[in-house]
Amino acid sequence: MKPTMPMNAFPPGGPPGTPPPGGGGFGPPGGPPSYGGPPSYGGGPPSYGGGGPPSYGGGFPPAQPPPKKSKTGLFIGIGCGCLLLFACAVGGGIWAMIGAMGPGEEVSSVDATVGQPFTLTYAQSGSQRYAAWLEVDVDHTSGYQLDGTITLEENGVAFGQYTLSEDGNGSPITERSDSVRMSWVHTNSSTSGTTKLFPIPSRTAGATVTVRGTINAPPGTTGRIRVFVAKRD
Q: How far apart are CA 123 and CA 227, in angstroms?
A: 17
* pLDDT at residue 218 greater than cutoff 70: yes
| Strand (E) or helix (H) holding 158 | strand 157-166
Alpha helices in 7-166 (DSSP H): 72-101
Contact predicate 164/197, CB 8 Å: yes
Would 33 be classed as within a structural domain? no
pLDDT at 184 over 90: yes
Asked whether residue 97 is domain-assigned, the answer is no
Proportion of the chain above pLDDT 70, given as a percent: 58
Beta-carbon contacts of 29 under 8 Å, excluding residues fewer than 6 positions away, are 16, 17
185 in any annotated domain: yes
Which DSSP helix (H) or strand (E) runs through 186? strand 181-186
Domain count for the chain? 1
Domain range for 135 = 108-232
For residue 88, tell me if it sits in a domain. no
Q: What is the pLDDT of residues 88-98, one digit of tens each?
A: 444 444 434 44
175 vs 32 pLDDT, higher one = 175
Residue 130 resides in a domain = yes
Calpha distance 193→144 (Å, rounded) = 13
* Residue 63 domain flag: no
pLDDT value of residue 115: 98
Q: Is this structure's pTM higher than 0.85?
A: no
Q: Is the pLDDT of residue 63 over 60?
A: yes
The CA distances from residue 232 to 100, 130, 180, 218, in Å, are 8, 5, 13, 32
pLDDT at 5 over 60: no
**CATH code of residue 188:** 2.60.120
Determine, yes or no, domain membership for 132: yes
Weakest mean pLDDT among 9-13, 154-158, 178-182, 223-227:
9-13
pLDDT tens-digit map of 19-48? 555 544 444 455 555 455 555 454 555 545
Q: CA nearest 229: which of 203, 210, 206?
A: 210
175 within some domain = yes
The DSSP secondary structure of 32-71, one letter per residue, reads: PPP--SPPPSSSSSPPSSSSSPPP-SSSSPPPPPPPPPP-
The amino acid at 52 = G
φ/ψ bin of 148: left (φ > 0), alpha (ψ from -120 to 50), beta (otherwise): left
Which residues, at least 6 apart from 184, have a Cβ–Cβ distance to it below 8 Å? 168, 192, 193, 194, 195
